[in-house]
Each structure stands twice: as structure tokens, then as C-alpha cells.
């Protein structure tokens, strides 16, 4: 039996089949070395395919049958944590709610991932990333002025406000459970995770440094030195020269006079943005990338999904992994004792998993 590597090598997690943030959180935890067993319906094709299923074991279990429920309970009884993303009450109806499973495993950390949270008037209703972030102010702030807000993929609610807070909450619960022997229920709501991500903007608002409209502020495209510009070939560059010295490096590369192209006041941002736009239309994206290479101007090419794996920096750090011809992120963050290669997903049975866990228990006790 191959010894698991990584900082979570002695952590066992049961992942209930779900979409959105749950499989991403489970993938990241498994990449860190956790032994994650994913329970799915028989014959069901997991969302995210091989990429979001990687680094862990998948077991087919019909939770609506007594046999399936007993199999799930057997795994959960040996686990450090469980993560699920059903609507409130579903796990309880399956006989797998927190009170039911923690009766046999008091140290279990039960991670619950939903958009609205376990309580409140919206708790039982459906929703998706765009809905969750719409109630936080985040969606209202993203996009062009005078146009409807633009959804930022599903990165803010599902993955930033959801998966990342599920991971941190789960790990905090496991640390405490190992100290006290008592587990916990972690209620992760994407709305509340998103609100926490917005903390800096709440500070801006409190200091009267933020206008509640799009393209009027420092970080929403209002500032000419923090936005994207079109180039001669129709591609784009990202400009992020917030600090004065970086802004000076940007002006030098563009050939613009600092005396006539000030960074402030904000009242001149629209005028400066037009000047920047004229400059950037004079060269192709890659010409600008070459011109600013090695400088602190904070100007980078805007790459497509297809282009990004071939960028020199990503290649040098091996930031991508190639599995069966599919480019995907290599495990992150990196640890000195953990491999950066991707482990493929595999199918197994409850019996095989329990046998493997028993062998590992015996090995740990012997050592």
C-alpha cells in the first residue's frame, strides 16, 4: 500500500455527491493528501468529470436503500469529516444528518455547503452563484457602467465564498476535534462567505472611499490605471499600476508625460483612460507584453484558457498538469513534502475502502 503524502495524509473525509463548491473543495483537500471517498449514485456521471473527481476514490452507493445507508454509515463512522451540499433537511431524511451520524462518531466534523445557509427565509429555495452574490453587493459592483452587471463566472460565490470557506471551516473543526475529541457542524453559506470576501470594500465604504456605482472606483474599472485595454490586434492587456512608482513605469513604457498624465485626481480618470486607450491601440497585445517584460509597470497580457498553459511563467512553475490530454491546475498551494503531480480518480467499493483504512490504522498503531 502506497503511503499517502502531504499535510493532510492522516485525514479521512467522506464527500457526498454534489455540484459546485463541494467537489472543488474535496479535490483541493485530496490534493493536500487527505483520503477522500466520494459517494455517488450508481451509474451517475459526476459533474466536472475527471478533473473535479481527481485525487480521490469514488464509491457507488444508493442512499435510498437500507444497504446503501448502512454502507455510508460505516464509512462515516471511520472518518474525520463529512462534506455535503444538499438543501437543508435532505441528509436528515436520508438518515445521515449530523445528530444521526455523530452518535457513532462524536469527533466527526460535518461540513454543510449551501448558498443561503441552513436557516433563514431563503434556506430551502434553489439558487446559483449569480443569485447568491446578487444579495451581497458583489454582483452590483461588477461590469460596465450603464449596463447590467456581469457574472464573474462562478468564482465569487461558488468557489471563493463557498469552497474556500468550506475548506477553512472543515480544517478548523478537525484541529479542534483532535484536541477535544468533540466534532462540530460547519454551516457554510456562499452569501456569507462572499460578504467576508468583500471586507475591504466595506472598509472603503465606511471611509467614504467607494461610490455605489460601477466604473467609478479604484478597483472596478473606474481608474485608468486599473482596467483592461484593447490592443491593435483586438486582444487585451491588463493594467494594474496602483502604486506611484509602478504608474511611473507604465507611463515610461507608453511614452506619456507624467506632467500631463497624472494618476490623480479621480475627476481626470475618464480623460486619462482615453489617452491610455489610444496608446494601447498602437501595438499588439504581445508587443506590449514584450515591451513591459521585466518591468514593475504591472502590465500583463490577458490570456485565454487555451493560451494560459503555454505562458513562460506557468510553464516554468509547472502550474498546469496534463492528464490524458486535459490541461488542468496542478495541486495548490505547494508543500515541501507533497507531490505536485495529479492523482487520477479511481472507482472502488465500500469494503475495499474500509479494508484499506483498517490496514492504515494498524500501521499507524504499530509505528
Catalytic residue set: 128, 158
Instruction: Pick the closest to residue 347 from 16, 38, 4, 15 (CA basis).
Output: 38
For residues 34 and 80, give the distance between their C-alpha atoms in angstroms, rounded to a whole number.
10
Give the span between the Cα atoms of 349 and 38, in whole angstroms.
11
Can you tell me the distance from the alpha carbon of 17 to that of 14, in angstroms, rounded to the nearest whole number? 10
Dist CA 175 CA 184 (whole Å): 11
Helix, strand, coil percentages for the chain (3-state, nearest 5)? 40, 15, 45
137: left (phi over 0), alpha (psi -120 to 50) or beta: left
DSSP assignment of 255-303: T--TTTS-S--GGGHHHHHHHHHHHHTTS-HHHHHHHHTTSSS-EEE--
- What does DSSP assign to residue 92? H
CA distance to 64, 102, 222, per residue, from 99 (Å): 19, 5, 50
Contacts by 89-92 with C-beta closer than 8 Å and gap 24+? Answer: 89/124, 91/16
Amino acid at each position: 500500500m502506497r503511503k499517502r503524502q502531504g499535510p493532510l495524509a492522516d485525514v479521512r473525509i467522506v464527500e457526498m455527491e454534489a455540484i459546485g463548491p463541494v467537489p472543488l473543495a474535496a479535490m483541493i483537500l485530496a490534493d493536500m493528501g487527505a483520503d477522500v471517498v466520494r459517494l455517488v449514485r450508481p451509474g451517475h456521471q459526476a459533474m466536472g468529470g475527471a478533473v473535479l473527481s481527481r485525487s480521490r476514490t469514488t464509491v457507488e452507493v444508493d442512499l435510498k436503500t437500507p444497504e446503501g445507508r448502512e454502507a455510508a454509515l460505516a464509512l462515516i463512522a471511520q472518518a474525520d469529516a463529512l462534506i455535503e451540499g444538499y438543501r437543508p433537511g435532505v441528509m436528515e431524511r436520508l438518515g445521515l444528518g449530523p445528530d444521526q451520524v455523530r452518535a457513532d462518531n462524536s469527533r466527526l466534523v460535518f461540513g454543510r455547503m449551501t448558498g443561503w445557509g441552513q436557516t433563514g427565509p431563503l434556506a430551502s429555495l434553489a439558487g446559483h452563484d449569480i443569485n447568491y452574490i446578487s444579495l451581497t453587493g458583489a454582483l452590483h459592483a461588477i461590469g460596465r457602467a450603464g449596463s447590467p452587471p456581469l457574472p464573474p463566472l462562478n468564482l465569487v460565490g461558488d468557489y471563493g465564498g463557498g469552497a474556500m470557506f468550506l475548506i477553512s471551516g472543515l480544517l478548523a473543526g478537525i484541529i479542534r476535534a483532535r484536541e477535544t475529541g468533540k466534532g462540530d457542524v460547519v454551516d457554510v453559506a456562499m452569501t456569507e462567505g462572499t460578504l467576508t470576501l468583500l471586507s475591504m470594500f466595506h472598509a472603503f465604504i465606511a471611509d467614504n472611499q467607494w461610490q455605489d456605482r460601477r466604473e467609478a472606483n479604484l478597483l472596478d474599472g473606474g481608474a485608468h490605471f486599473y482596467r483592461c485595454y484593447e490592443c491593435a490586434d483586438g486582444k487585451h492587456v491588463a493594467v494594474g499600476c496602483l502604486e506611484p512608482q509602478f504608474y511611473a513605469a507604465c507611463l515610461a513604457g507608453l511614452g506619456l508625460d507624467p506632467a500631463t498624465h497624472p494618476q490623480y485626481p479621480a475627476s481626470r480618470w475618464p480623460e486619462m483612460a482615453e489617452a491610455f486607450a489610444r496608446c494601447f491601440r498602437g501595438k499588439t497585445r504581445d508587443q506590449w507584453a514584450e515591451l513591459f517584460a521585466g518591468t514593475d509597470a504591472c502590465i500583463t497580457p490577458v490570456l485565454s484558457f487555451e493560451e494560459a498553459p503555454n505562458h513562460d511563467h506557468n510553464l516554468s512553475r509547472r502550474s498546469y498538469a496534463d492528464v490524458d490530454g486535459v490541461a488542468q491546475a496542478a495541486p495548490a498551494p505547494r508543500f515541501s513534502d507533497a507531490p505536485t503531480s495529479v492523482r487520477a480518480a479511481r472507482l472502488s467499493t465500500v469494503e475495499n475502502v474500509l479494508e484499506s483504512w483498517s490496514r492504515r490504522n494498524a500501521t499507524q498503531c504499530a509505528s
